Structure 1
Amino acid sequence: MRLLFFVTLLGFSCFCNEVFGVHISNLSGSCFRCLCHVAGCDMTRGCSDGYCGPFFISRVYWVDAGKITLPDDDPERQEAFEDCARDYHCSIRIIESYMAKFGKDCNHDGVTDCFDYMMINYHGGRGCSKPLFLTQSGRRWLKSYLECRF
């Protein structure tokens, strides 16, 4: 079950997601829209070169996220990854689970926010502190993210 709620405590406000009891701060609907935008957000995208769906998710990412599946599917079924990754809502569950495991402050600004989640999606959970401007594809992701967020 996923809950999205707005919390105000002691004057601090944040959007919060809760996935299977795990708190993920600043992972909001608008952040998901930007993460999708950065990945191309093609709702009709199948799978190519090992990546699938609107968020362009890899099988390794899916496995690291815990093999999230469509309801009543078997994660060991050969096409379970592809079917979930091509489905927008199932893809969101994959990303939520991945961020619950790997979410951190990649740019060391003191906040884990959508920018950090975008960095994690680009570099993977273990290497998100690397700058994006070093590669052409990284510069495209950064430009696309900034267009979406601002």
Structure 2
Amino acid sequence: MLFAAIFLCLLPLGMSAISSHCLDCICSLESGCRPLACKWDVNSPSCGYYQLKQVYWIDCGKPGGSLTACALDKSCATRCVKAYMSRYGTHCTRGHTPTCEDYARIHNGGPGGCHRSATLGYWSKIRARGCSKYS
């Protein structure tokens, strides 16, 4: 948790954090915003509200004591996603503030997800949930 708090405090001025609306769209797509049990998905388990994976949870600072405990607690899982986006959000920007599209594609494809065409389909699904690039 301290790790996440440090990242949020170090967010550069002028750079916005992921919005609640964008988080809601990701949560809706990933789980219907329900605390889903861990299930096998592309080489490792995905868990909870945001379908977090172990490496994602580690990168967000390992809040909540374990991946499962955090992923199944909406507050903890949301803090994890926010910390992850604070850490990697600028990997997509070239002179612009990260957008919901950037964040969604990072969530789906990892730190460089915004540069991979494989995450465009995920972004389309997020848009279908009511999020726009600037949500």
TM-score by length of 2: 0.75
Determine if the alignment matches structure 1 residue 39 to structure 2 residue 30: yes
| C-alpha separation in 2, matches of 1:115 and 1:43 | 22
Match of 1:118 in 2: 104
| C-alpha separation in 1, matches of 2:68 and 2:76 | 10
Among candidates 2, 6, 10, match of residue 22 of structure 1: 10
- 1:107–1:129: 8 Å Cα contact kept in structure 2? no
Q: Which amino acid aligns with 2:63?
A: I
Give the structure with the larger strand fraction.
1
| Paired residues, number | 120
| C-alpha separation in 1, matches of 2:57 and 2:106 | 14
- 5+ residue gaps, structure 1, are 2-17, 70-74
Match of 1:6 in 2: none
Give the structure with the larger helix fraction.
2
Among candidates 110, 122, 131, match of residue 149 of structure 1: 131
Q: Which amino acid aligns with 2:127?
A: L
TM-score by length of 1: 0.68
Match of 1:55 in 2: 50
| C-alpha separation in 2, matches of 1:32 and 1:54 | 10
> Which segments of structure 1 move beyond 6 Å, counting only runs of 4 or more?
none
Match of 1:130 in 2: 116
- 1:132–1:142: 8 Å Cα contact kept in structure 2? no
Question: Once the 2 structures are TM-superposed, how far is the Cα of residue 39 of structure 1 from its aligned partner?
Answer: 1.6
Question: Once the 2 structures are TM-superposed, how far is the Cα of residue 90 of structure 1 from its aligned partner?
Answer: 0.7
* Structure ranking higher on relative contact order (CA contacts 8 Å, 6+ apart): 2
Q: Which amino acid aligns with 2:25?
A: C
